[in-house]
A = this chain, B = another copy of it.
């Protein structure tokens, strides 16, 4: 692939897929898409994008032109897309934007085993859904996970990393399993707690809702998201999410016990405050920058270790990645 000129084929033109189509086009790629949703397809066409009549057409063209293919559909739709890719674009360079990575990797292994797959997860999005809720700016200054596992083709990894960086993201390399454990805690658990909080608030009646201010509005924001998408995301990461929910249940139960027995909440509130400061400090810490040679035999290990310590890739030039760490 010549940098900046590869074709990009996006299957699924909802918020994330639609944002990717726009951002990749802005970055100078030839882009085309396909969507199950006729509303999304029509909206993309109305905005001047090239939408092929079927997934088959879109991935067939990707095979002809050796384009990058990104599956931007919910987890339950992935097998169907993979069957088509296996048939019409058997060895294509393939990624996705699904919020769990081990289950998608398993599906790829089963249904399209010869594709050159790199799992992807842009950590962005709003509670909206559909083409109209997307924008080319969706990825700017956000993390985009690209998985690094045994058997990952580092050249293909670099191709998708360049695309993510062109869209405005920095790239976080991590294994599929580590990704799933992490997002259970910082993405799926927040959705569960938002739902619990919203329901507990409504139980307080009209007065409670009339008094709801910042803490409740922020804490329930993601409960506004399309329930079927939230469910697919959370249910798809069941094992890791169960572990995170047990952790939350333990902490909430301990707080309840402390308040009931001693009247105090110091451990809960102080621990949460300290944790939030950790988050803020990690985000504002000065970074150390160093190169990772992607041609090296240790490249995959170096990338995975970078992700483990909260680091990121901010640039890829030829096969040298610029790593930022704390």
Interface residue ranges, A against B (CB under 8 Å): 123-126, 142-143, 145, 172, 174, 178-179, 181-187, 189-225, 227, 230-231, 234-235, 238, 241-242, 244-249, 251-253, 255-256, 259-260, 263-266, 268-280, 282, 307-312, 326
* Choice from B126, B213, B273, B276 contacting A142 with Cβ under 8 Å: B213
Chain B residue contacts of A223, Cβ below 8 A: 272-273, 275-276
- What separation, in Å, do the CA atoms of A183 and B200 have in the docked complex? 11
18 CB < 8 A contacts A-B:
A143-B211, A172-B210, A182-B205, A185-B203, A190-B216, A194-B219, A195-B268, A195-B272, A195-B273, A196-B272, A197-B248, A206-B282, A206-B309, A215-B221, A234-B265, A235-B264, A238-B259, A242-B256
Q: For residue A280, which residue of chain B has the nearest CB?
A: B224
- What separation, in Å, do the CA atoms of A259 and B195 have in the docked complex? 14
- What separation, in Å, do the CA atoms of A203 and B219 have in the docked complex? 20
Contact assessment for A275 and B172 in the assembled complex, using a CB-CB cutoff below 8 Å:
no
* Choice from B222, B230, B260 contacting A214 with Cβ under 8 Å: B222
Contact assessment for A312 and B222 in the assembled complex, using a CB-CB cutoff below 8 Å:
no
Chain B residue contacts of A198, Cβ below 8 A: 271-273, 275-276, 279
Contact assessment for B194 and A272 in the assembled complex, using a CB-CB cutoff below 8 Å:
yes
Most chain B CB within a 10 A radius of its CB, from A200, A214, A273, A278? A200
Contact assessment for A192 and B255 in the assembled complex, using a CB-CB cutoff below 8 Å:
yes
Contact assessment for B275 and A260 in the assembled complex, using a CB-CB cutoff below 8 Å:
no
Contact assessment for B251 and A252 in the assembled complex, using a CB-CB cutoff below 8 Å:
no
- A223-B276, A224-B277 known; A195 and B245 CB under 8 Å? no
- What separation, in Å, do the CA atoms of A185 and B213 have in the docked complex? 11
- What separation, in Å, do the CA atoms of A282 and B207 have in the docked complex? 10
- What separation, in Å, do the CA atoms of A56 and B307 have in the docked complex? 58
Most chain B CB within a 10 A radius of its CB, from A186, A212, A309, A311? A186
Contact assessment for B209 and A310 in the assembled complex, using a CB-CB cutoff below 8 Å:
yes
Contact assessment for B196 and A211 in the assembled complex, using a CB-CB cutoff below 8 Å:
no
- What separation, in Å, do the CA atoms of A250 and B251 have in the docked complex? 14
Contact assessment for A224 and B276 in the assembled complex, using a CB-CB cutoff below 8 Å:
yes
Contact assessment for B259 and A242 in the assembled complex, using a CB-CB cutoff below 8 Å:
yes
* Choice from B194, B251, B256, B278 contacting A209 with Cβ under 8 Å: B278
- What separation, in Å, do the CA atoms of A227 and B275 have in the docked complex? 12
- What separation, in Å, do the CA atoms of A213 and B204 have in the docked complex? 29
- What separation, in Å, do the CA atoms of A185 and B253 have in the docked complex? 16
Chain B residue contacts of A282, Cβ below 8 A: 206, 209-210
- A202-B278, A273-B223 known; A208 and B234 CB under 8 Å? no
* Choice from B125, B219, B269 contacting A227 with Cβ under 8 Å: B269
- What separation, in Å, do the CA atoms of A222 and B174 have in the docked complex? 29
Contact assessment for B231 and A266 in the assembled complex, using a CB-CB cutoff below 8 Å:
yes
- A193-B196, A203-B185, A248-B200 known; A172 and B256 CB under 8 Å? no
Contact assessment for B308 and A206 in the assembled complex, using a CB-CB cutoff below 8 Å:
yes
Chain B residue contacts of A172, Cβ below 8 A: 207, 210-211
A-B CB proximity, top 7 nearest: A195-B272, A206-B310, A198-B275, A190-B215, A185-B204, A202-B275, A210-B310
